[in-house]
Amino acid sequence: MNESIDDEYLEESYSPELDELIPKTRDEAVERLKQGRLFRLLDSIVKFLLARPESEEICRDFLNSVIFPEGHREISSVELLDTNLPPARLRGRGSRIDAYCTVDDGSKINVEIQLNYDAAHASRAVYYWSLVHTNQLESGDIFQDVDRTVSVNILGFDMLKLEKNFCNSYSIRNDGSSRVLTDDLKIIFIELPKFIRELKKPGRKLKNKLERWLCFFVGLEDEIMPDIADAEPVISLALKQEQIFLMDERMRMAYIDDLMDMYSERKRGARAQKLARDRYELAEENRKHAQRERKAAIKFIELGMSIEEIALTMGLPESDVRDYIA
């Protein structure tokens, strides 16, 4: 039986790489703002850069980098849509996503940023995809009118433990032959900690437009952003657009509040994961200890010792010895 993504969640998924790029205090965040430096993965910044009417060119270029990183095809136009997704049924659960658009071939694409660890994010991504997909048809429409739906998920933690690549795409395929049933479903996961670790390898150079966009979003200005802005005119445009954000005091203050809330939640998540890991390690040690005691009790029985003698020798209740040899 193949391991599922859920099996991978049994391992600790907290990743410190991204934390190195996040301001830890309000003073640090304010100082970075004075330097014109934003943490661009925050929801409010992502929405500012990708989900405003003024952002269509930036959104189109970014989506091209994700869906066609090698440039073999290209989205020529995008239409930004309402990011509030209604539920599929009465009293059902809707959602609010970071960016949502339809592109020139009719495909619906949503972008979701999830920085803090979420053990259920794979299920959440499928649910968001389903809301986008099922809300396309009106009564009387035919199923052939359903357009492809693409879900782009940018993660601030390691989710796909068994995958080495930082960008992985999923679709509906035959479990045996791997042939695609339909291209209506595509869900893409980009794991930023893996990308950062990959980028730190000696001699590693940027390979494509996607990697240049990810450098922009994780905020590597000091190292390579000037060269990237020269090579990518739309990233240069995004840098200019964020100056509008930086000049608005109300948005700056809201940004700092949101940033501190996000980092506090991230720290709470890291502590919870450490506690869960410690509990798991303790339970595992207790299990191994019980196995050693059971083997010893069985060995003593084979040597002809009574239960009373084994209990006295091992310092255990007689009931435990009986359980071990049952």
Using a cut of 0.85, tell me whether the model's pTM lies above it: no
How much is the pLDDT for 213?
A: 93
Task: Provide the residue type at 241 as one letter.
Answer: Q
Taking every pair of Cα atoms in the chain, the longest distance, rounded to a whole number of angstroms, is 85
Proportion of the chain in helix, strand, coil states, percent, rounded to 5: 50, 15, 35
pLDDT in tens, the chain (326 residues): 344 333 333 344 557 777 778 888 889 888 888 888 888 888 888 889 998 888 899 999 999 999 987 777 788 888 888 777 666 655 556 667 788 888 988 889 999 999 888 888 889 898 888 888 887 767 777 888 788 899 999 999 889 988 999 999 999 999 999 998 988 889 999 999 999 999 888 988 888 899 999 999 987 656 667 778 788 899 999 988 888 888 888 888 888 998 888 888 877 777 777 787 788 888 889 889 989 999 998 999 989 899 888 888 989 888 988 888 87
Q: For residue 101, what are the β-bridge partners?
A: 80, 109
Q: Which two tokens stand for residue 305?
A: 């010792």
Of 117, 55, 64, nearest to 83 by C-alpha is: 55
**Vertex 170 angle, CA 166 and 176, to 5°:** 120
How much is the pLDDT for 11?
A: 44
- Domain range list for the chain: 5-247, 251-326
User: Residue 186 in contact with residue 148, Cβ under 8 Å?
Assistant: yes
Crossing angle for the helix pair 56-67 and 43-50, nearest 10 degrees? 100
How much is the pLDDT for 5?
A: 39
* Cβ-based neighbours of 48, under 8 Å, separated by 6 or more: 55, 241, 242, 245, 251
Strands (E) across the chain are located at 78-80, 84-85, 95-96, 99-103, 108-114, 149-155, 167-173, 180-191
Which stretch of DSSP H or E encloses residue 291?
helix 249-302
Distance, CA of 213 to CA of 65 (rounded, Å):
8
Q: Are strands 167-173 and 78-80 parallel, antiparallel or unpaired?
A: unpaired
Distance, CA of 177 to CA of 174 (rounded, Å):
5
